[in-house]
Structure 1
Amino acid sequence: MAREGFDTGAAVTRSLLGWGVVAGPFYLVFGLILASTRTGFDLTRHPLSALLLGDHGLLQALNLVLTGIMVGAAALGFVRAVAGRRGTAGGVLLGVYALCLVLSAVFPPDPTNGFPPGAAAQATSSGLLHLVFGAIGFLTLGAAALILAGELPGAVFSRAAGVVVIVGFLGGAALSPGGAGIALLWVAVVVGWVWLAVASVRAYRIVPHPELHRRASA
């Protein structure tokens, strides 16, 4: 039963956008904790996705799936919060990114740079699919930042973040598995999560307050 003087739709939209703030820190903290416990894992030589391999790989899969669900919720929040085709397109692109996070968990990468220890380097269909979903994910995240730039405050930051995510990923993929490639991938990952958090806050602020009396006095 709807509460008088309360906009349930606005409250739901704000709640969905809140997950866009949580997703990045959750993924990074969870991943770094796992990285610190895995023998042979080196943050300067291995991407966090390599944690899908070997012992306790299911924990990194859980990290990706839960993060993907959070990003998916935020994507729906952007569709609801940002009017027009750009808002819809940006939300859909974020939804694709969320799906790619989940699919990346389903299809783990191939062993890389000696991780996990003792594993033979080999090319598999799972590893190829992991790369494909990773590429689609980074490119759609960067595209979402570029498309939503004109619809939210801080357009310059959003455009810059979109470019950094795309160029960082492409550069990292080209230079992988060297240290420079891993560094560029880290830049793309961190900037992408920072953009999502900032954009989610900005979208949250344009959604009218669900308490109608507070909305009227704002």
Structure 2
Amino acid sequence: MSDASLSRTTNDFLTESTIKWSKRLLSCGIIAGPLYIILGLIQMNIRDGFDIRRHALSLLSNGNLGWIQISNFILSGLLILACAFGIRKVMYSGRGRTWGPLLVGVYGLGVIAGGLFIADPALGFPPGTPEGPPVTVSWHGSFHFILGGLGFFSLIAACFVFARRFFSLGQQGWAVYSIITGGLFLAAFIGIASGTSNEGINVAFGVAVVLGWLWISL
């Protein structure tokens, strides 16, 4: 999506300097997804007791190595914010000019909030944590859930906003891809937010998060 934001038509109306800076900002969005996913995969393999079938990546912010995931959240979120500014620079007109970059930016803020407000230990992770959900939810755990949820909804909405823009530009493939990504992410988020905990829903949500990051990068 970051690559597609800078079209030939747009280039005709932008100065060379603006185009250069826009490409740099959009490149931040291209980098963000692979960075987040790769660091997540590494942690899955080095953190004792972590099981993606049971645990959300947010739980990796706890424990002695929790700083890795905290840094992952903050750095990836900052890259998305930069990308949102880049999108705004090149979307000089047309559908989604206001809401598209704004929603991507809100998602970036939600990702940063995920690092600033740590999720409560749960489900036996980190090792030594009682099984099951937290008995009491901390203030930072509440903010993590609320702001993270806002970020997820913003990304889902962004998928549909850009789908409409791509349809208006005649870019049918990008439009359909955006709709599929937004729809799958929405279904997975509803499943995980319902409080139903099973391996299928947890894995589906993890896959949806990866799809969302890839959508931004592509």
**TM-score relative to the length of structure 2:** 0.83
Q: CA deviation at 1:139?
A: 0.6
Q: CA deviation at 1:119?
A: 2.2
- CA-atom RMSD in angstroms: 1.5
Do the aligned residues in 1 keep the contact of 2:29 with 2:80 (CA within 8 Å)? yes
Distance 2:46 2:109 in 1: 27
Q: 1:22 aligns with which of 28, 31, 36?
A: 31
Q: 2:118 aligns with which of 105, 108, 121?
A: 108
Q: 1:41 aligns with which of 38, 41, 50?
A: 50
* AA in 2 matched with 1:163: G
* Residue 195 in structure 1 maps to residue 204 in structure 2: no
Residues paired across the two proteins, number: 193
Q: 2:152 aligns with which of 128, 133, 138?
A: 138
Q: How does 1:1-218 map to 2 (within 5 A)?
A: 7-82=16-91, 83-84=93-94, 86-120=96-130, 121-122=134-135, 123-152=137-166, 153=171, 154-198=174-218
* AA in 2 matched with 1:177: S
What does the per-residue CA deviation read over 1:150-199, in whole Å, with 9 as the maximum and x for residues that have no partner?
A: 2233211111211111221111222543212211211220111121122x
1:26–1:129 distance in 2 versus 1, CA, 3 Å: same
Helix, strand or coil for the counterpart of 2:143?
A: helix
Distance 1:31 1:176 in 2: 23
1:57–1:66 distance in 2 versus 1, CA, 3 Å: same
Mean Cα displacement is larger for which, 118-127 or 186-195? 118-127
* AA in 2 matched with 1:169: F
Structure 2 unaligned residues grouped into runs of 5+: 1-14
* AA in 2 matched with 1:130: H
Do the aligned residues in 1 keep the contact of 2:110 with 2:152 (CA within 8 Å)? no
Distance 2:146 2:175 in 1: 29
Percent identical pairs in the alignment equals 35
* AA in 2 matched with 1:174: S
Structure 1's consecutive aligned runs of 4 or more residues displaced over 4 angstroms after TM superposition are none
* AA in 2 matched with 1:193: W
Structure 1 unaligned residues grouped into runs of 5+: 1-5, 199-218
Q: CA deviation at 1:91?
A: 0.4
Do the aligned residues in 2 keep the contact of 1:65 with 1:102 (CA within 8 Å)? yes
Distance 2:37 2:43 in 1: 10
**Structure with larger Rg:** 1
Do the aligned residues in 1 keep the contact of 2:181 with 2:212 (CA within 8 Å)? yes
Distance 1:190 1:169 in 2: 13
